[in-house]
Amino acid sequence: MTEYTALNRRLVDELSAAGVLPDRWRGAFLAAPRHLFVPGVVWDDADGGVLTARRRDEDPAAWLAAVYADEAIVTQVDDGATPDTGAGRRITSSISKPSIVAMMLDRLQVEAGMSVLEIGTGTGWNAALLAARLGEQNVTTIEVDAELAERARKALAEAGVSPAVVTGDGADGHAPGAPYDRVIATAAVQEVPYSWVAQTRLGGVILTPWGTAFDNGALVRLVVDEHGVAHGRFVDNTVAFMWLRAQRAPRPAPPADLAGAAESTTTLHPDAVAWDDLNASFAVGAGLPDVSRRFVDADDGGDDFTFWAFAGASWACVDVTDGASTHRVRQHGPRSLWTEIEAAYRWWEEKGRPVTGRFGLAVTRDRQYVYLDSPDDPVPSG
Ligand SMILES: C[S@@+](CC[C@H](N)C(=O)[O-])C[C@H]1O[C@@H](n2cnc3c(N)ncnc32)[C@H](O)[C@@H]1O
């Protein structure tokens, strides 16, 4: 047994023991060892939000330890524009955390002979796992970045499988291979492209990370019905994937000039709406999908901070002094964003603080909406 085989077996055993890797997926994980897919240059975000390159040839043991740990590894920054001597700003591709990969594959509920379309080839590892389970002829994967697609093709060939790797925009799906039994996205969407629904057979499943500008971390499992509508429940809220390229959430900066804002106070702590409880931030985001937010720590290194919300020309901020029960609010622009956030949070509280799994998503040709318990009960939007 080579060192790689032993390390892969240990990871697979750990995932099995943790209950995240069902026996039916063990063979695929053993057949597609992760080290074949992780590039020789990966990126660390240890340095205060800046990403720095780490090279396999500089420290092979550290590289290998990372490959066989249950952690995601950043494999591309800034769409490949930053050289590996530079400082990366945005994560644009990664090989996902093995336990998340196993959980998603399990939730996809594939059976022998099914055809699968994957959106977001990345390194090709997930496509290799699908091909090992279903046969390479049943797997098509799409990657928007031509360089990544080419690298994945080579890694897949080295691993002895050759599913179809398409270079293109996954938002369009891949009509020539349709209809698919399953569509799995490994990049997050704010709007599920209707092409995925149109290219999935009746009764087929679409599994995709889903989020809003406010909250990114949900996973939804949709089933396509006879009316060409896909609907289903959110099945997880702990998977923060990078966005599909065309659906990246904005990252607005606080304005330099706060003059002219309407001032008030609130007793609702921003942590309650956007930090303490994933179910709350999911629900607030579902009601206010275009509102992005940010926490900015006070300069003095203490526990005080400002919570910011942004949408179009509107912004709001809440200054939180550690230990205080009332906080200063400033709101500016056509929308009163903190007022909207409070209302969305109160709605969630009045509904009995429902967990994310009680929410669902419906995707029709013309629109998508989030509902609570039943498609007949859309979440009110702000
Ligand atoms: C988390 S990575 C995917 C991990 C991958 N499944 C693996 O096994 O390594 C997300 C990938 O989605 C790709 N992506 C982003 N937008 C896309 C789009 N519109 N179409 C296809 N791929 C896209 C990114 O370039 C990135 O490689």
- Residue 118 CA: nearest ligand 1 atom is 6
pLDDT at residue 46 greater than cutoff 70: no
Q: Is 345 touching ligand 1 by the criterion CB < 6 Å?
A: no
Average pLDDT, stretch 224-243? Answer: 96
User: Ligand 1 center to residue 242 CA distance, Å?
Assistant: 8
Q: Is 123 in the pocket of ligand 1 (CB under 6 A)?
A: yes
- Containing 371, the helix (H) or strand (E) segment is strand 368-372
Best of 34, 244, 247 to mutate for ligand 1, by most ligand atoms within 8 A of CB?
Answer: 244
Within 10 angstroms of residue 13's Cβ, the number of other Cβ atoms is 12
Distance 118 CA to ligand 1 centre (A): 9
- Specify the CATH architecture of the domain 3-186: 3-Layer(aba) Sandwich (3.40)
Catalytic residue among 96, 115, 281, 292: 96
| Ligand 1 contacts CB of residue 119 (under 6 A) | yes
**Residue 355 C-alpha to ligand 1 middle, in angstroms?**
28
No. of helices (H) and no. of strands (E), the chain: 10, 18
Give the mean model confidence (pLDDT) for residues 147-165: 97
- Does residue 137 register a pLDDT over 80? yes
- pLDDT bracket for residue 1 (50, 70, 90): low
- When pLDDT is cut at 50, 70 and 90, the band that residue 21 belongs to is very high
With a CB cutoff of 8 Å and minimum separation 6, the contacts of 75 are 38, 39, 42, 43, 93, 94, 95, 122, 123, 148
Q: How confident is the model at residue 300 (pLDDT cuts 50, 70, 90)?
A: confident
| Domain segments of the chain as ranges | 3-186, 262-350
340 lines ligand 1 (CB under 6 A): no
65-69 contact pairs (CB < 8 A, 24+): 66/38, 66/42, 67/7, 67/34, 67/35, 67/38, 68/7, 68/8, 68/10, 68/11, 68/34, 68/35, 69/11
pLDDT score, position 249: 85
- Over residues 244-250, mean pLDDT: 91
Q: Is the CB of 148 under 6 A from ligand 1?
A: yes
**Does residue 118 contact residue 168 with C-beta atoms inside 8 Å?**
no
**61-72 mean pLDDT:** 96
Is residue 299 predicted with pLDDT exceeding 80? yes
Residues 6+ apart with CB under 8 A from 231: 222, 223, 225, 360, 361, 362, 363, 375
Lowest mean pLDDT: which of 37-51, 86-100, 174-188, 201-215? 37-51
Mean of pLDDT over the chain: 96
In whole angstroms, give the CA distance from residue 234 to residue 357.
Answer: 5
Beta carbon of 32 within 6 Å of any ligand 1 atom: no
Give me the mean pLDDT over the 40-47 stretch. Answer: 85
Is residue 374 part of the annotated active site? The answer reads: no
179: three-class secondary structure by DSSP: coil
Residue 382's pLDDT band (cuts 50, 70, 90) = confident
Please determine, for residue 182, whether its predicted confidence score (pLDDT) is greater than 70. yes
What was the pLDDT predicted at 366? 96
Our mutation pick for probing the ligand 1 site, out of 35, 108, 245, counting the most ligand atoms within 8 A of Cβ, is 245
The answer to whether residue 302 scores a pLDDT higher than 90 is no
Residue 246 Cα: closest atom of ligand 1: 19
Q: Is the CB of 209 under 6 A from ligand 1?
A: no
- Residue 357's SS3 state is helix
Within 8 A by CB and 6+ apart from 357, the residues are: 233, 234, 235
- Rounded to the nearest whole angstrom, what is the distance from the C-alpha of residue 154 to the centroid of ligand 1? 16
pLDDT category, 236, cuts 50, 70, 90? very high
Cα–Cα distance measured from residue 173 to residue 197, given in angstroms and rounded to the nearest whole number: 9
The rounded distance, in Å, linking the Cα atoms of 271 and 111 is 42
CA-wise closest residue to 42 among 92, 76, 89: 76
DSSP characters over 290-351 = T-EEEEEE-TTSSS-EEEEEEETTEEEEEEE-TT-SSEEEEEESSS-HHHHHHHHHHHHHHT
* 47 pLDDT more than 70: no
Fold of 262-350: Double Stranded RNA Binding Domain (3.30.160)
Domains 3-186 and 262-350 share a fold: no
Q: What's the sign of the alpha-carbon dihedral 347, 351, 356, 359? A: negative
Distance 78 CA to ligand 1 centre (A): 13
Q: How far apart are CA 25 and CA 132, in angstroms?
A: 9
Q: Is 193 exposed, middle or buried (0-12, 13-18, 19+ CB in 10 A)?
A: buried
| Banded model confidence at residue 321, pLDDT cuts 50, 70, 90 | very high
The radius of gyration of the chain from alpha carbons, rounded to an integer in Å, stands at: 22
